[in-house]
Amino acid sequence: MGAEDFTLDGRPVRLLSGALHYFRVAEGHWAHRLAMLRAMGLNCVETYVPWNLHEPSPGRFEDVAALGRFLDAVRDAGLRAIVRPGPYICAEWENGGLPHWLTGLVGRRVRTADPEYLAAVEAWFERLMAEVVPRQITAPAGPGHGAGGGPVLMVQVENEYGSYGSDQGYLRRLAALLRRLGVTVPLFTSDGPEDHMLTGGSVPGILATVNFGSGAREAFAALRRHRPSGPLMCMEFWCGWFGHWGVESPVREAADAAAALREILECGASVNLYMAHGGTNTGGWAGANRAGEDHLGALLPVVTSYDYDAPVDERGLPTEKFWRFREVLADYADQPLPEVPPPPPVLDRPVRIALPQWAPLGDVMTALGDEEVVAPMPPTFEELDLDRGVVRYRLDVPGPRGPYPLRVTGLRDRAVCSVDGQRRAVLDETDAVVEGVRGPAAVELWVESLGRVGYGPRLAEPKGITGGVLHERQYVHGVRARALRLTAVADVDAVARVPFREPGEERPEGPGEGLYRGWFTVSAVGDATLELPGWTRGFVLVNGHCLGRYWSVGPQRTLYVPGPLLRTGDNTVLVLELEGAGERELRLR
C-alpha cells in the first residue's frame, strides 16, 4: 500500500470490488456468481463472515471451512478477495452476526474491551483465521495457492464501529489480535463519512475507508479531514437497499447508481459495490432493524430475499444496473471484459406440490421441542438458549375472577395467543393485550422471533417475552416454556418422529397452524420459484434446507429455490405454518 494508492507487485492498482456473501448463495452457484462479477468488470470480491452461523454454541464450530472453500473459488475465478470477519458484521443478518449465547451473556458489553466478550472473540478468531491466513496474498506459495499466494488482499477490523461506540482500546486489541494470529495483509476500518463516525471507528496507523451511496466528493473530503493521505476507498457503495416485511421494497434507478459509481472512480478511488449480488437470507437468518433516525422505534424485520436491488439479482441474472455498471467499469479495466456467462438452468416445467400430511403445532412441539422449563417469570429466548424458532409459553390464570385484560409486557416479537384452547389474538410489540380473559383460564402464547436487531443501540436485546404476563395488574407466575428450534425441523431423522396425520384422517379446524409435509418429483434440477397461495407466516424447507421465512404481509410473495438444493427424482417439502394455513397445494415454477 503506497502513500496514495494501493499497490500490487510494486505497481499501483485500483480495487474494483463487489460484495458477495458466500453464506447467502448456494455453494453450487458460487462459480457462476463470481463469473458474473468478473463480467461486470470487477477484479475483487468482498465477503463478511457471520460468527453466529459458524459457532452456534460456545466452542462448537460448524463448517468454518466454507469460507476457505469460497476463497479458493475466488482464486479460481481470477479474482482477489477482501475479508470482513467482524466479529460484528451488521449485514441485515440475525444479531449482526453475533451469537445469541454471547449477547445473552454480556448484553451491552458487546463490542467493547470487556474481558468476557474479548475471550469469546479470541477463541472464534483463532479458528476463523486458520481459513484466512494461508490464503493471504502475502502467504508463501503452496499447494493450491499458486505462485503468488492466496487471493486475500485486506482484512477489516470490526465493522462500522463509529456508528456504535468509541472504545479505541477495543479496536486496538482487535487489530493486535489479528496480527498475532498471522494476518499480514493491510488492515482497514470502514465507517460512514461523518466526523463522529470516523472519530469513533478509525484507528491510527490502520487504513480508514468510508461507506455511502452518493456524494463521493463530499464523502472523500470528510475522510481527508481525518486522513490527509492514503488510498481512497468507498468500502460500501450502496447501489441498492434491503427490504422489510410490510414495507414496499426500495428501488434505485440504474442510471442514478451508475452516475454515482462513475463519480467515485473519477475521484481516483477504489470501490466495493454493496451489494454486487445479494443472495438470500436462508435458514431464518434474516435480521431486523428498529425504525427512526435513532433506531429505537418499531421493529422492522428484514425479508428473506436479499436481492438488494443489486446489479446481479437474487437468481444470478443481470439487471439493467449490471449493464450500466459494466459500461462504467469497462473504462477502468486493464483488458477487455469477459463475456457474460449463461444463466444457471431452471426447472424445466411447473410442479404442483400436494401437502397431504399435517401435524398440529402441539404435536410437533412434543416430538421435536426441547425439554419444558418451569420458571416464575417467562424465560427469554436467550435464557432458553434459542437462536431461531418459536417458544410456547403456558400459564394458568387463577380463578374465579372477572374478565380482566391479559397484558404481555416486553413482548418480542409476535405471539399467537389462545385461551382455553381457542385462539383469541395475534399480538405484537405495539398491541400485546387480550381483553376480557376470565379466570380460571389456561393460556398459551406461541412466540416467534422475527429476527434480532443487527444495527443501532438496541443491538443485543433479548427475544421472546422479556417482561411478564399481567392479568389486570397482577403478574401470573409459574410459566412453562418450551422451545422448538428451526434446526430440529430441518433434521430429517427427527422429523420422522412427528405423528403426521394421513389423508382422510382428521383435518385441521380453524387456522391450521402446524407442520405440513409433501413430496414432488423433478426429472432435472434447476432454479425455481415457490408460490404459497393463502399461507400466512412460517418457514419452508426443501430436502432439509430451510428456504427462509414467508409472510403474507409482503412485499415478498414467493421464495427462491436454488437448483443445487433439489434432487433428480423425489424431493421433500415441509411447511411450518405459525398463524394460518392456505391451500394444501404449493406451486413450483
- Residue 7's DSSP bridge partners are 12
Distances (CA, A) of 207 to 16, 185, 189, 210, 232: 17, 11, 6, 10, 9
The DSSP element (H or E) to which 460 belongs, if any, is none
Which position has the grid cell 434480532? Answer: 452
Q: Are 329 and 40 in contact (CB under 8 A)?
A: yes
Kindly provide the b/e burial profile for residues 173-200, where b requires at least 16 CB atoms within 10 angstroms of the residue's own CB: bbbebbeebebebebbbbbbbeeebbeb
Indicate the helix (H) or strand (E) that contains 355: none
| Best CA proximity match to 547, nearest among 278, 245, 283 | 283
CB neighbour list of residue 561: distance below 8 Å, 6 or more residues apart: 527, 528, 529, 530, 542, 547, 588
Catalytic-residue membership of 160: yes
Pairwise CA distance, residues 76 & 384, whole Å: 43
Q: What gap in Å lies between CA 394 and CA 561, rounded to an integer?
A: 36
Q: 270-277 and 16-20 as β-strands: parallel, antiparallel, unpaired? A: parallel
Q: Outline where 77-186 has alpha helix (H).
A: 100-106, 115-132, 168-180
Q: How many residues does the chain have?
A: 589
Give the integer Cα–Cα distance in Å for 502 and 97.
40
**Which candidate in 236, 263, 314, 444 is catalytic?**
236
Say if residue 440 is preceded by a cis peptide, omega within 30 of 0. yes
Catalytic residue among 160, 314, 461, 577: 160
Contact of 429 with 413, CB cutoff 8 Å = yes
The yes-or-no answer on residue 293 being catalytic is no
Q: Alpha carbon 389 to chain centroid distance?
A: 15
**One-letter amino acid of 541:** L
Query: Which residues does the annotation mark as catalytic?
Result: 160, 236
